[in-house]
Chain A
C-alpha cells in the first residue's frame, strides 16, 4: 500500500561467539519518519545500530535500503548510498578544525580521489561546510580545533559531518549521551528539524527523551523486539512497563 520502506531488517541475528546479541529480529522503517529504538542496558541496541549502520555485517538475515539488498556492504559504501551516522562515543577528526572536519565529509560526493587540485579552490565545498556548521550552531567556532570544542559542541559537529554526505537516512546512536540538560534540549530540537527533511532512526537509552518527538518506537529486550508502535501504545504496553519502566 505504501511506498518502499527506507530500511528493512529481515530475520537479522548477530552472534559474538556463543553470545546472541540479536536474535532473529525483523522490522521495517518507513521513509520520512522519525523512529527510535529503545531498551534497557544490554538489550542489543548498540549491536542493532552497528548492524544497520554497516559497522559489521549480521551473522544471518538481510538488510534492505530502499528495497535494495545491502547486507554485507562495506562501511564506506553506506555513506555513498545515503546512510549516515553519528556514533555513541563522539568520533570526529580531533586535530582538524571544525570547518575542515565538515569540509572533508562534504567533499566525499564530488572529490574523493582528486590528487592534484588544490582544495582551497573548491570553494563550493568550503561554503557548504560553513552552512552546515551554522545549521548545528557552530558557525562562530569554525576555525577552532575539534579537540578544543566542548563535548556538546563535538556532538553537534558530528551531526554536521553526518549531514555533509547528504544522507536520506540518518542513524544516531544515543545522540545526547553525556550532554547537559540544556545541550540535550538543543540537540533534540535539532533532531526534530532534521527529521522533517529525511528519515531518522535514533537509538536511545533514555525513553523519556524520545517519547515526545518520535512517531514510532521499537523496544528491544534481550536481543528481540518486545514491542513496537506509537509512543502512546508503548506507554500503555504492560510488558514494556515491566521490563523497562519497572527498572526505573
Chain B
C-alpha cells in the first residue's frame, strides 16, 4: 500500500493520466467526467497560486471566462479554427492574469482577495455589457467543433467518448507542465515565498516578480480550462465569469487538499459528483455540498488527498 502510494507520488503525472484514462468508465455519464476534467484543471491552476504561493484570489473565474469567451469569439465572429482559438483564449487569459496580478500583488491578505474579487467583477461586467461580441446575458452561442483533425486523423468531437479523450490530451499536457514547474528550482522559490516572504527576499528572490509570474502561470492554466470548456459546451454562459466559480475553485482546493498536486482534482471530482447526485433529489444541492465542505474544513483541514498524504507520511 505504502509502496504503491510512493510510486504514485513519484510518477504523479503518469499516475493521474492513467487514472483519467479509465475515469469515464467509473462515471455515470461522460458529460460529468468531462466537467470534472475541466474543473479539475481549473482548480489545479488556482492551487498554483493559492496552495503553493499562499495567495487567495477570489477572481479566478475571470481567467476561466476570458479563456472561454476569447476562444468562442475567435471561432464565432472570426471563423478561426478551434486550435488557434484555444491558443488565443489561453494567451488572453495570460494577459488578463498579468494585468490583474500586477495590481493585486501590491496588496496582501484580505486586501489581495478583495482586489482580485473586484477586478474579476469588472471583467464580468465588461463581458456582460459587450453584448455584440459576447451575447450578454444569453451567453455566446454557436461554437461548433464537429470534428478534430490531428495529423490526418479525423476525430468525431460530437462523440462524448472521443471528446473526453481529446480534452484529456490537453489536460494531461497542462498537468505535466504544472508538475514540471513545481519540481523546478522556481517551484522551490514559490514555496519559499509562501512560507516567509521576508526571508525569501533576504535570500535574493524578487518576491513581487515571483508572485506575478505565478499569477500569470495560474491564469494560463485556468484559461486553458476555460478554452476547452467553450469547445465542450458549444456555448459560453455568462456564469463562466461569475464570482461563484471563483468561490468554487477555493472550495475544490480546500476539499481536496490545497498545496498538493492531486488535491484540487480530487476536490473537483467530489464537489461535482456531489452536485450531480444531490440535484437528483433536491435543487438545494448547495446546502448538502456546503455541509460536506464544512465537515472537511472542521475535521480534515488538510482535505481529502492532503489527509491521505499526511497519514502515509506518518506510516513512513
B207 at interface, CB cutoff 8 A:
yes
- When distances are taken between beta carbons in the complex, the residues of chain B under 8 Å from A161 are 199, 203
Contact B195 A95 (CB under 8 A): yes
Is the contact region of chain A dominated by helix, strand, or loop, or is it mixed?
loop
B233 at interface, CB cutoff 8 A:
no
- When distances are taken between beta carbons in the complex, the residues of chain A under 8 Å from B196 are 91-94
Inter-chain residue pair count (beta carbon < 8 A):
96
* A75 in complex: contacting residue of B181, B183, B192, B202, CB < 8 Å: B202
Nearest residue (CB) in B for A162 is B202
* A104 in complex: contacting residue of B183, B203, B207, CB < 8 Å: B203
9-residue interface stretch from A25-33, A79-87, A197-205: A79-87
B78 at interface, CB cutoff 8 A:
no
Contact B183 A120 (CB under 8 A): yes
B191 at interface, CB cutoff 8 A:
yes
Nearest residue (CB) in A for B193 is A93
- When distances are taken between beta carbons in the complex, the residues of chain B under 8 Å from A92 are 195-196, 199
Q: Given A91-B196, A96-B192, is A105 in contact with B203 using a C-beta cutoff of 8 Å?
A: yes
Contact B183 A119 (CB under 8 A): yes
* A165 in complex: contacting residue of B191, B203, B213, CB < 8 Å: B203
- Residues 179-195 of B, flagged 1 when their CB comes within 8 A of A and 0 if not, give 01101111111011001
Within A83-135, the residues touching B (CB, 8 Å) are 84-85, 87, 91-96, 100, 103-105, 107-108, 111-120, 122
- When distances are taken between beta carbons in the complex, the residues of chain A under 8 Å from B195 are 92-96
- The interface size of chain B toward A, counting residues with CB under 8 Å, comes to 24
* A93 in complex: contacting residue of B185, B191, B206, CB < 8 Å: B191
- When distances are taken between beta carbons in the complex, the residues of chain B under 8 Å from A164 are 203
A78 at interface, CB cutoff 8 A:
yes
B80 at interface, CB cutoff 8 A:
no
B25 at interface, CB cutoff 8 A:
no
Could you tell me the distance between the alpha carbons of A103 and B187 in the complex, rounded to whole angstroms? Answer: 12
Contact B185 A107 (CB under 8 A): yes
A74 at interface, CB cutoff 8 A:
yes
* Interface size grouping (class) on chain A: 35 or more
* A76 in complex: contacting residue of B180, B188, B206, CB < 8 Å: B206
Nearest residue (CB) in A for B183 is A118
* B188 in complex: contacting residue of A87, A104, A116, A165, CB < 8 Å: A104
Could you tell me the distance between the alpha carbons of A22 and B107 in the complex, rounded to whole angstroms? Answer: 29
Contact A119 B187 (CB under 8 A): yes
The smallest C-beta distance from B191 to any residue of chain A, in angstroms, reads 6
B204 at interface, CB cutoff 8 A:
yes
- When distances are taken between beta carbons in the complex, the residues of chain B under 8 Å from A91 are 196, 198-199, 202
Question: Footprint of B on A, CB under 8 Å?
Answer: 53, 55, 74-80, 84-85, 87, 91-96, 100, 103-105, 107-108, 111-120, 122, 161-162, 164-165
Having A91-B199, A104-B191, one finds 8 other A-B pairs with CB under 8 Å, namely: A53-B202, A77-B204, A108-B203, A111-B185, A117-B185, A119-B188, A120-B183, A161-B203
Question: Footprint of A on B, CB under 8 Å?
Answer: 180-181, 183-189, 191-192, 195-196, 198-207, 213
The 9 lowest CB-CB distance pairs between A and B, nearest first, are A79-B204, A93-B195, A111-B185, A108-B204, A75-B201, A91-B199, A105-B203, A114-B185, A118-B183
